[in-house]
Chain A
């Protein structure tokens, strides 16, 4: 997805004179031309993530639209206070694009994993929209929407999964669909909730076969109306590709008490080093 991101950003740099891209010494080769030069207003600011965030906020304050891009743990966890103060609290709305889903640097170990990114960003849910495009096909729309909505910042998590492309052909993001839209019989009043890249995994594909409905979510937080709709099902299976079962927690608080079975990622350090993303189950 990084290649598609770079192509979109380079075009935007040409078309919009107040557009700036800040790279944390990552994806640089996707932006340089044959002469090894970056486009106008695209800057490689190196490995100073905290200052990069504050600097971006200052550029935004001067009237520029800004994208910040580097590896997720350094962008989110290392520079979290800068995101909190300079972007969220000061309402300098920028677009933060992390280069990787939680375990895409899997063999580099836990310092390069970041399953906490989405929960951390959702701490500012009124100021930062979280976007998890399912695949490259959905990325340009998320980038466009991020800059169209001037009232909030956006955090976009790129990933490299291609996954079940047949499934994606029928996908309408953020809408409840009956599973019969795909194939096979409906089974009871149940729903599989697939957030972000979880649509690509075998675990979620297996769960999908057991429920009558499904929804693929690529933007958080979801509206309370949608949360209500989901809670109306008797059984809800939720796959959340980050370290806390946030949607599942909210669903369990509804008075209707749907039966919620949730899956989320473990926090890297607790389970040591592992080489592929996996879900752990939480729920009755």
Chain B
């Protein structure tokens, strides 16, 4: 895919997120918007390395961004129209956080509480390595999620098991700075480069090429990719804290969608 086509994917996925939020009267739209390029980059890398997408190797620890997950599945033809329409409706197995659906490779891990997916992903990566499978695993964590103790425990675990076995785990941090008003974390995340013996990259989290390059440059080793993102990108109003869990109604749905169309037409 060329650059314009990949950007088209990013815009279309955002439209799907918006549609989900509008239809379901639920969803964390800005948090979902900020990880779109990260998800698409991971899927692009998977395609380039092997036969196809493998959603089981992507752990969305930032579970409230699940509408991005549904939207990406829909865009790549892994979610039916009926399933898409059912999100958030009474009795549906798809809801506002990553669902617990057993034996479905699209949803191999469910969560909504922060801090769980990172250590889980380390266990998965180690298990694969012990089985001789060095294809990469990916985990997406939020910078606010890095407030949780398990984020730092996970880094200790990585340090321990790097000596034991190679771990091919890419940790993508969605650094949208939305939690800086509570516990400032950005400067501590940047110190990960020196504190832990793990490869580290700072990238623009909305630059598909930059994310993909960082993933590929890390080879088969564990690495941290600190993705500088803007919450709600590319829609400015969505970066306001009041939009964190705001419902999408008819008027702001139209407003945001028109803005997305405008941005795409200007590419």
* Residues 37-57 of A contacting B (Cβ, < 8 Å): 41, 43, 45-46, 48, 50-52, 54-57
* Contact present for B123 and A54 (CB under 8 Å): yes
Tell me which of A62, A85, A89 contacts B124 (CB under 8 A): A62
* Contact present for B116 and A54 (CB under 8 Å): yes
- B27-35, B150-158, B202-210, B229-237: which lies at the interface: B150-158
A25 interface hit (Cβ, 8 Å): no
Which of A46, A59, A82 gathers most chain B CB within 10 Å?
A: A59
A184 interface hit (Cβ, 8 Å): no
> Once bound together, how far apart are the Cα atoms of A56 and B126, in whole Å?
10
B16 interface hit (Cβ, 8 Å): no
B42 interface hit (Cβ, 8 Å): no
- The smallest C-beta distance from A103 to any residue of chain B, in angstroms, reads 28
* Contact present for A82 and B116 (CB under 8 Å): yes
B199 interface hit (Cβ, 8 Å): no
* Contact present for B156 and A48 (CB under 8 Å): yes
> Once bound together, how far apart are the Cα atoms of A55 and B155, in whole Å?
12
* Contact present for A54 and B102 (CB under 8 Å): no
A61 interface hit (Cβ, 8 Å): yes
Count of chain A residues with a beta carbon within 8 Å of a chain B beta carbon: 26
Interface SS of chain A: helix, strand, loop or mixed? helix
B219 interface hit (Cβ, 8 Å): no
Count of chain B residues with a beta carbon within 8 Å of a chain A beta carbon: 32
- The smallest C-beta distance from B67 to any residue of chain A, in angstroms, reads 20
The digit string for B69-109, where 1 denotes a CB below 8 A from any CB of A, is: 00000000000000000000000000000001010000011
* Contact present for B131 and A58 (CB under 8 Å): no
* Contact present for A58 and B157 (CB under 8 Å): no
Q: Which residues of A contact B21 (CB under 8 A)?
A: none
The digit string for A81-96, where 1 denotes a CB below 8 A from any CB of B, is: 1100110011100000
A5 interface hit (Cβ, 8 Å): no
* Contact present for B131 and A55 (CB under 8 Å): no
Q: Which residues of A contact B150 (CB under 8 A)?
A: 48, 50-51, 54
Q: Which residues of A contact B157 (CB under 8 A)?
A: 45, 48, 51, 55
- The smallest C-beta distance from A40 to any residue of chain B, in angstroms, reads 10
Closest to B161 in A: A43
> Once bound together, how far apart are the Cα atoms of A90 and B128, in whole Å?
19
Q: Which residues of A contact B115 (CB under 8 A)?
A: 50
- The smallest C-beta distance from B193 to any residue of chain A, in angstroms, reads 22
* Contact present for B120 and A57 (CB under 8 Å): yes
A201 interface hit (Cβ, 8 Å): no
A64 interface hit (Cβ, 8 Å): yes
A63 interface hit (Cβ, 8 Å): yes
- The smallest C-beta distance from A167 to any residue of chain B, in angstroms, reads 42
B160 interface hit (Cβ, 8 Å): yes
* Contact present for B113 and A54 (CB under 8 Å): no
* Contact present for A54 and B120 (CB under 8 Å): yes
* Contact present for A58 and B116 (CB under 8 Å): no
* Contact present for B154 and A51 (CB under 8 Å): yes
Knowing A45-B157, A48-B156, the reply to whether A55 touches B102 (Cβ < 8 A) is: no
Closest to B59 in A: A58
Tell me which of A41, A46, A55 contacts B120 (CB under 8 A): A55
Knowing A64-B127, A81-B113, A89-B110, the reply to whether A58 touches B122 (Cβ < 8 A) is: yes
Closest to B109 in A: A90
* Contact present for A55 and B119 (CB under 8 Å): yes
Q: Which residues of A contact B130 (CB under 8 A)?
A: 41, 62, 64
> Once bound together, how far apart are the Cα atoms of A62 and B122, in whole Å?
11
* Contact present for A90 and B123 (CB under 8 Å): no
Q: Which residues of B contact A64 (CB under 8 A)?
A: 127, 130
- The smallest C-beta distance from A41 to any residue of chain B, in angstroms, reads 8
* Contact present for B127 and A62 (CB under 8 Å): yes
Closest to A44 in B: B160
> Once bound together, how far apart are the Cα atoms of A62 and B126, in whole Å?
8
- The smallest C-beta distance from B176 to any residue of chain A, in angstroms, reads 24
Q: Which residues of A contact B119 (CB under 8 A)?
A: 50-52, 54-55, 58
> Once bound together, how far apart are the Cα atoms of A63 and B108, in whole Å?
13
- The smallest C-beta distance from B83 to any residue of chain A, in angstroms, reads 20
- The smallest C-beta distance from A47 to any residue of chain B, in angstroms, reads 9
Knowing A50-B153, A63-B131, A85-B111, the reply to whether A58 touches B121 (Cβ < 8 A) is: yes
* Contact present for A61 and B123 (CB under 8 Å): yes
Q: A43-B160, A62-B131 are in contact. List 4 more A-B contacts (CB 8 A).
A: A50-B115, A51-B119, A51-B157, A61-B108
**Chain B residues near A (Cβ < 8 Å):** 100, 102, 108-111, 113, 115-128, 130-131, 149-150, 153-154, 156-157, 160-161, 164
- Nearest first, the 3 A-B pairs at minimum CB distance are A58-B123, A62-B127, A54-B119
Q: List 15 A-B contacts (CB under 8 A).
A: A50-B149, A51-B119, A54-B119, A55-B122, A58-B119, A58-B124, A62-B123, A62-B126, A62-B128, A62-B130, A63-B127, A81-B116, A85-B111, A86-B116, A91-B100
